[in-house]
Amino acid sequence: MRWKRAFTVVGVHAEGEYGKVITGGVVDVPGKTMFDKMVHLRDHDDGLRKLCLFEPRGAAVHSCNIVLPSNNPKAQAGYVIMESTEYPPMSGSNTICTVTAILETGILPMVEPLTKLTLETPAGLIDLECLCRDGKVLQVKFKNVPSFVQLLDGHVEVKGLGTVKLDVAYGGMHYALMDASALGFAIAPDEARDICVVGEKIREACQEQLKGIVHPENRGIRHVTVTEFMGPLKRTKKGLSARNTVVVSPGRLDRSPCGTGTSARLAVMHARKLIKVGEMFDHTSIIGTHFYGQIVGTTKVGGKRAIIPTVAGRGYITSIGQYGLDPDDPLPEGYTLSDTWLRTVTSIQKT
């Protein structure tokens, strides 16, 4: 057997959301920062993303992460996140998957009962606290990048839906957030396909009609790329809780409660004075799993008021193996078909 490329891949799910973690086979990627490395992969080696995520090795329902050395002296390592149609600057579920793989396979040392470390993402540095016991990571809590509102009570015109009211917030990616019930959804598992169709229509409308959605400190992060359907907010003895689901292109649901989506929702809630600094927020996914969010401080990003959120959840290793590319394989970058992908992916959107 002879492979043209070979990678060691650890499979992990974070509260239901599956993320592959490449821990071997990619020595490094050119670039000073992790954002630079992300841009290099996107512009010069996008075949790696396609090989890992497109059929026959991949599927529409997961992401992939590459563990890389960081040039930032504050970070022990870095990682670049790859999804089906984009390279997101940050992802909460992928962060949990990646740090679980890093610690449980011994890439970085695990300290029990609490491992503290800092990892670099394309969005910036992420501080993590991991509860550990008997060689297992029992919970990952990460302090996300500052999250902020870009638009409250906005409107877009969507074919077949009419006028859709929404908020836009950044939590590591730009989200359009909508009241699920206003669009006829209870966020039930049997609604998944219909939610995806509606979510993709809204995302496309946002990209066409909302031209000013740009990160104030990194103009390479722009546009609404994900949509979040929000269930009603409830107050409990322990804090606040709500159900949600997020549509990830090319039209599938995040199985977890979504870490960057939780951060974006916390930013909107804080802007609307629905949550205070320090209050706990239990965010539930469409399959009933939980992330626990909290606002631990406030700041400003390019003059915009922002929150500093933390999100906690758990990851579980499901597999460890190798992916390879046979030099005779006629499909070195895989393929997609619209029977399982909402639309056939032909190119990646560049920021």
Residue partners of 162: CB distance under 8 A and separation at least 6 = none
Q: Is residue 203 part of a domain?
A: yes
Neighbours of 230 (CB within 10 A): 25
Distances (CA, A) of 306 to 186, 213, 216, 271, 289: 30, 15, 12, 9, 27
Task: Inform me whether the pLDDT recorded for 341 exceeds 90.
Answer: no
| Enclosing domain of residue 106 | 5-143+317-325
Q: Do 185 and 272 have their domain in common?
A: yes
Choice among 3-7, 20-24, 286-290, 314-318 with the minimum mean pLDDT: 3-7
Q: Bridge-partner residues for 217, per DSSP?
A: none
Instruction: Quote the pLDDT of residue 60.
Output: 87
- Taking only the tens place, the pLDDT of each residue in 78-124 is 999 999 989 999 999 999 999 999 999 999 999 999 999 999 999 99
Q: Bridge-partner residues for 293, per DSSP?
A: 281, 311
Q: Do 194 and 127 have their domain in common?
A: no
- Taking only the tens place, the pLDDT of each residue in 277-328 is 999 999 999 999 999 999 999 999 999 999 999 999 999 999 999 999 999 9
Q: Do 164 and 289 have their domain in common?
A: yes
Q: Bridge-partner residues for 247, per DSSP?
A: 227, 253
- Taking only the tens place, the pLDDT of each residue in 190-236 is 999 999 999 999 999 999 999 999 999 999 999 999 999 999 999 98
- Please tell me the total count of domains within the chain: 2
Q: Is residue 81 part of a domain?
A: yes
pLDDT-based confidence at 350, cuts 50/70/90? low
Q: Which of 166, 147, 347, 151 is nearest to 258 (CA)?
A: 147
Q: Is residue 101 part of a domain?
A: yes
Q: Do 66 and 211 have their domain in common?
A: no
How many whole angstroms separate alpha carbon 84 and alpha carbon 257?
19
Task: Inform me whether the pLDDT recorded for 252 exceeds 50.
Answer: yes
Q: Do 125 and 159 have their domain in common?
A: no
How many whole angstroms separate alpha carbon 98 and alpha carbon 26?
15
Instruction: Quote the pLDDT of residue 345.
Output: 62
Measured over the CA atoms of residue 242, residue 284, residue 59 and residue 141, the dihedral's sign is positive
Specify the residue for token string 């490395």: 37
pLDDT-based confidence at 347, cuts 50/70/90? very low
pLDDT-based confidence at 238, cuts 50/70/90? confident
- At 85, phi and psi to the nearest 5? -130, 5
Q: Do 127 and 223 have their domain in common?
A: no
Amino acid at position 281, single letter:
F
The secondary element (H helix, E strand) that includes residue 92 is helix 92-104
Instruction: Quote the pLDDT of residue 18.
Output: 97
Instruction: Quote the pLDDT of residue 338.
Output: 87
Q: Do 173 and 25 have their domain in common?
A: no
- At 113, phi and psi to the nearest 5? -90, -5
- Taking only the tens place, the pLDDT of each residue in 28-69 is 999 999 999 999 999 999 999 999 999 999 998 899 999 999
What pTM does this model have? 0.95
Q: Do 137 and 151 have their domain in common?
A: no
Q: Do 46 and 117 have their domain in common?
A: yes
The more confident residue out of 4 and 110 is 110
Q: What is the CATH number of the domain that holds 28?
A: 3.10.310.10
Neighbours of 211 (CB within 10 A): 10
Q: Do 103 and 153 have their domain in common?
A: no
Looking at the annotation, which residues are catalytic? 91
**Prior bond of 113 cis (ω within 30°):** yes
Instruction: Quote the pLDDT of residue 348.
Output: 57
Neighbours of 248 (CB within 10 A): 30
How many whole angstroms separate alpha carbon 129 and alpha carbon 116?
5
- Taking only the tens place, the pLDDT of each residue in 260-282 is 999 999 999 999 999 999 999 99
Contact 50, 331 (CB under 8 A): no
Q: Do 88 and 197 have their domain in common?
A: no
Residue 58: helix, strand or coil by DSSP? coil
Instruction: Quote the pLDDT of residue 236.
Output: 87
Q: Do 16 and 153 have their domain in common?
A: no
